[in-house]
Structure 1
């Protein structure tokens, strides 16, 4: 890949400052299962997305026991989430029955990757991607800030020596360092739609872009997303990006 696939400028995330949004999230909580939400989670699992239980927004914070949790409702419950992630519908049903309020994360780099971009660039790219059957795939909105493009994975080659790291690879702990394009592959995760955010907003599949769609190759999708970001005035690095090990 050429250097155009890496951007020198980073798009800034907007801060959700809607008054009372955390209170709305708290007031809208319910301790009974949501059949429609459970059905969507089950559909994603059936499509092959491995999932693990995550925390959920609680009051003004997080359901976890960490004081001042920096990402309320956006992280797995267990540190063993990667090995815990499963596509077994019975196991997922048990998790849902035990904690009906739980969000879920889906582990990337096993059965799928996620290209995570600022919403402005994602919306610009969406029309071109949906017009091409080769790049038409599942897409979710992460609140109003980001769009998540689900793709096939490049993280599980038959020969482990053939796996190539990428300068855009993102891990949960490096998300704040990469406000532009993030490539969630090995060792990363994203919230699985539908999920609730502490801001009162949510993570939702875009209409017509649910988990039942086939996963496109990530590289053509990345090209379109990079071009969309460039149209906002963010030029790629002059040095070519190295895709090899």
Structure 2
């Protein structure tokens, strides 16, 4: 990454180097730490529900042949009504399903702006360098970065509602390449989560849920700008989907 971004000094580059070098301990190996992290997420308003996890064979505990999103989807079809911030319920799930990942349902208290990892790192570097209030941020070893924000709820004008498959529409692809806005009817994995492959592949916090959720529009310009720059240098304009686009 260039030492100068948007006309600013190398301070952002140092922030990026710190983020790249910061590798937290193996979250999945510490059951107590995992429970504490999930309870902290629920306490911050992230509504949780159990999800599938990596397993031998097809790569997903659901045992579905050709599962399109192994270890990334809810266990129950009723995940939207099942998801909760209730501490006692989350504790029961964690203890009864020690291998389970968890999803957080978006569009109720929070949304998630989901971007390619390198674009997200560049945008986070820029936002922090400019002193913008950034909320919780997670990164996935599938190559995505997740920015948690307040939800836009249900705008009166339906044209203002941007669904999570935003980057699939031809009319918006050029303007917002690689950006997915997870709002009502969608979800993302919440850290700590494990992904198929090497034991260390997963989803982890870069900035934890103790940070207040910002308004999404305060981040959008930096994220779309970084996504456009990333799309211009990415040799593969259609990378593998890390998160489902519709449910």
What TM bracket, shorter-length normalisation? 0.7 to 0.9
* In structure 2, distance between residues paired with 1:111 and 1:212: 15
Match of 1:56 among 53, 57, 61: 53
Go from structure 1 to structure 2 and tell me whether the alpha carbon gap of 1:78 and 1:33 turns closer, same or farther (over 3 Å shift).
farther
What CA RMSD, in Å, does the superposition of the two structures yield over aligned residues?
Answer: 2.5
Q: Would you say 1:147 and 2:141 are equivalent positions?
A: no
Q: How many angstroms apart in 2 are the aligned matches of 1:33 and 1:100?
A: 11
Deviations 1:27-50 (A, max 9, x none): x9x9x9711111100000000100
SS of 2:46's partner is coil
- Provide the secondary structure at the position in 1 that maps to 2:230: coil
Greater RCO (Cα-Cα under 8 Å, separation 6 or more)? 1
Aligned CA distance change for structure 1 residues 165 and 36 (closer, same or farther; 3 Å): same
Q: Say how many residue pairs are matched.
A: 196
- Tell me the equivalent position of 2:89: 91
Question: What is the correspondence of 1:31-110 to structure 2 with a 5 Å cutoff?
Answer: 34-60=31-57, 61-110=59-108
Deviation of 1:222 (Å)? 1.0
Gaps of 5+ in 1: 1-27, 235-245
Q: CA deviation at 1:227?
A: 1.1
Superposed displacement of residue 68, structure 1 = 2.5
- Which residue number in structure 2 is paired with residue 213 of structure 1? 211
> When the two structures are superposed, what TM-score results if normalisation uses the length of structure 1?
0.73
Contact 2:136–2:148 (8 Å) recurs in 1: yes
1:85: how far off?
A: 0.4
The answer to whether the Cα contact below 8 Å between 1:154 and 1:163 also exists between their aligned partners in 2 is no
Q: Residues 17-32 of structure 1: matches in 2 within 5 Å?
A: none
Alignment-derived partner of residue 170 in structure 1: 164
Unaligned runs of 5+ in 2: 1-25, 233-247
Contact 2:149–2:214 (8 Å) recurs in 1: yes
Secondary structure (helix, strand or coil) at the match of 1:52 reads strand
Any conservation in 2 of the 1:155–1:163 contact (CA below 8 Å)? Answer: no
1:74 & 1:132 partners in 2: Cα distance?
33
Output the TM-score relative to the length of structure 2. 0.72
Structure-1 separation of matches of 2:66 and 2:146 = 26
Whole-angstrom CA distance in 2 between matches of 1:233 and 1:47:
33
